[in-house]
Amino acid sequence: MTSPLIGHNASLAVRARSIRRNALLMGKVQGQGYIAQALDFADVLAVLYSTL
């Protein structure tokens, strides 16, 4: 039996990866920044914005 949340979790993982990628690109462009905090918070943002 497949859980209906498996697809939702995969979608969240894709969103979080996209947020992390954008954070890295912004840090690269600026040449500085607190990348670790952005990478850590990506999962939280993905969950929060998936409900909008």
Q: Over the stretch 28-51, which tens digit does the pLDDT of each residue have?
A: 888 877 888 888 999 899 989 887
pTM of the complete model beyond 0.85:
no
What per-residue confidence (pLDDT) applies to 5? 57
Domain count, the chain: 1
Q: Kindly tell me the sign of the dihedral angle through the C-alpha atoms of 24, 29, 31, 34.
A: negative
pLDDT at 7 > cutoff 60: yes
Distances (CA, A) of 32 to 5, 25, 26, 35: 37, 11, 9, 8
Residue 9, domain extent: 5-50
